[in-house]
Chains A and B, each alone.
Chain A
Amino acid sequence: MSAISDIVNAVNSGASSVRTQVEAALARAKSAQQYHALLALTETRALERADEMDERRARGENLGTLAGVPFVVKDNYLAFGAPTTAAAKILENFNAPIQATVVERLEAEGAICIGKANLDAFAHGGSTENSAYGVTYNAHDRTKVAGGSSGGSAVVTALDVVPFALGSDTGGSIRQPASFNGVYGIKPTYGFTSRYGVVAMASSTDVMGCFAKSAGDVELIMKIIAGRDEKDMTTLPDYFVVQEESDLPLKIGLIRETMTDDVDPEVRSITEEYVECLTKAGHTVEEVSMPLAPLALAMYYIIVPAEVSSNLARYDGVRYGRRAEGVKTLAELYGRSRDEGFMTENKRRIMIGSYVLSSGFFDAYYLQAQKARTLLINQFNELFSQYDLLLTPTAPTPAFGVGDNVDDPVKMYLSDVMTVPASLAGIPALNIPAGVSHGGLPVGVQVIAPMREDAKLLAFAKAMEARS
């Protein structure tokens, strides 16, 4: 099953035109408006590109491996055709002067961006309720959250508006909404994808990835966006080679600390059912212990706010973005523009970051967290010396209700508890849709692979998908 190949084949065979594909995707986006997954359609530019591609095809030109495939970007990717807001007021009118490397690579292969998806402002959040432009609702139940921060991208993928969508993942922002909406979502190895042209959140864990309905489609997109980019010096040398067959059998460790009584019973039982599927497929699954896993969230909420406070210092209302009116001095301009332009959660993270980095507290918080991070990575390395892959639920619950956690930041942070360990270690992890709760909400499992083993992870997911 490949929704992407279906479109490419239809376009290349002449059975369909690029314009037909783009118009159909735009129509689907408009009929899904009640989910509020998109902040803007890039309709004019998308149709212009479609017509230009149809003309090129008429001349016999090759349109690329993604000929005519419509997609959506999370609105923290700099992309032409509509403002890039990061779902924050401070960037409400920001028309990006360049495009993200990842977007450029997809367009070079003939893909067409049709819209920009909602997110928690500056990707701070786990529900897409923290957007300056309104809440995004779950694709399966509009009384539930979409998850986040890449909630809009997950929802448009789940609703088949587009066959794939781009997200960014700093601590779970692709995997958790993928779980909540029942789609695949990957966070690759740190440095696998270029961050150039994406609004920075926490530079030591930010990675770009995608959502799709099948593991094969995720792999197809990752192959195109992967690799070295001179504009992001942390990108790794090209290493991603698609693995056609999965190794069998694999030894997989189920992390015990992610299956405690704190985790929703239905999430645990769906994870256990997935373990049975793995066993039937010939894999060996054993329970393993990762004692530091429960502490990873505390590390994360020190390290990431520290990086956030630094990365968000640039938004000051001077060179671009929204500027407060009626201010008399430069200091007032900075202070008021930032107060008016950021959401409460942005301010919390900036201030926690300022706190843990300030003299007197630096050693106790920031340095301690970075040392703890080393110990966490050591525990991953020990486990990967015995196991090929690790398994956890992706989130401790199915999608929660809209409004349930908005006034309690710590409760909201806990929805990232399963996903932050792989982010701190920089290793690849994938949400695989695994089941549905009695209330009809999707539940996913997270499969984690060693550093740079993205290809093995996807080959495994494809093989499991082929069996189901």
Chain B
Amino acid sequence: MSTITTDDVRHLAQLSNLQLTDEEIAHLQIDLGNILAYIDQLNALDTSGVEPTYQVTGLENVWRSDEVQTSDATRDVLLALAPEAVGNSVKVPQVL
């Protein structure tokens, strides 16, 4: 189950928005294969009829009042963090 091909690595890189070099792909194929071989041991555990745990403290939905709150992180402060900004917009290269 845990054999992983270079095509698998390329597909995962695409899903993960990572533009990897060929050298990285070669290394990651080995690393990811080893990690998957390790976590595969969990398959032997019988979990039939067991409910999964996603949250540990039994927390249910928490409400807050729908009020506008001020923040020091103003539009200007946040725009100043962008690598490129024009006016009140963040600039990016062409989409297609």
A residues neighboring B (CB under 8 Å)? 94-95, 97-98, 189-191, 204, 230, 233-234, 236, 292, 295, 297-299, 301-302, 309, 313, 316-323, 327-330, 332-336, 338-339, 342, 344, 347-348, 350-356, 358, 364-365, 367-375, 377, 408-410, 413, 424-426, 451
Contacts and interface: CB of A to CB of B under 8 A. Distances in A.
Interface in B4-47: 9, 12-13, 15-21, 24, 27-28, 31-32, 34-36, 38-43, 45, 47
Given A329-B94, A372-B47, A336 B56 contact: no
Given A338-B18, A358-B15, A234 B35 contact: no
Instruction: Find the residue from A348, A371, A426 having the highest chain B CB count within 10 A.
Output: A371
A358 B36 CA distance: 14
Given A320-B82, A344-B28, 20 more contacts: A97-B72, A97-B77, A98-B72, A190-B56, A236-B59, A295-B42, A316-B17, A322-B83, A333-B92, A335-B17, A338-B17, A339-B20, A342-B18, A351-B9, A352-B32, A355-B36, A374-B50, A410-B34, A410-B35, A425-B56
B81 A302 contact: no
28 contacts: A189-B57, A204-B55, A234-B55, A236-B57, A297-B38, A298-B40, A298-B41, A318-B90, A319-B81, A319-B82, A319-B90, A320-B83, A328-B94, A330-B95, A332-B93, A334-B17, A335-B19, A338-B18, A344-B28, A350-B16, A351-B12, A351-B16, A358-B12, A370-B54, A373-B53, A410-B34, A426-B57, A451-B56
B28 A368 contact: no
B62 interface: yes
A440 to B, nearest CB: 32
* Minimum-distance CB pairs A-B, first 3: A335-B19, A426-B56, A370-B52
A350 B18 CA distance: 9
Contacts of B68: none
B71 A327 contact: no
Interface of B: 1, 9, 12-13, 15-21, 24, 27-28, 31-32, 34-36, 38-43, 45, 47, 50-57, 59, 62, 64, 71-73, 77-78, 81-84, 90, 92-96
A377 B59 CA distance: 16
Instruction: Find the residue from B24, B28, B77, B92 having the highest chain A CB count within 10 A.
Output: B92
A374 B93 contact: no
A317 B91 CA distance: 11
Contacts of B43: 364, 368
A298 B16 contact: no
Give chain A's interface secondary structure class: helix
Contacts of B90: 318-319
Contact of B50 (A323, A333, A371, A413): A371
Given A190-B56, A204-B56, A371-B52, A347 B18 contact: yes
Given A316-B17, A317-B83, A351-B13, A373 B35 contact: no
Give chain B's interface secondary structure class: loop
B39 A302 contact: yes
Nearest to A352: B35
B39 A351 contact: no
A186 B93 CA distance: 45
A309 B34 contact: no
Nearest to B96: A329
A135 B53 CA distance: 36
Contacts of A367: 52
Contact of B38 (A298, A320, A336, A351): A298
Given A369-B42, A370-B54, A374-B52, A323 B72 contact: no
A190 B57 contact: yes
Given A317-B83, A330-B92, A302 B42 contact: yes
Contacts of B55: 204, 234
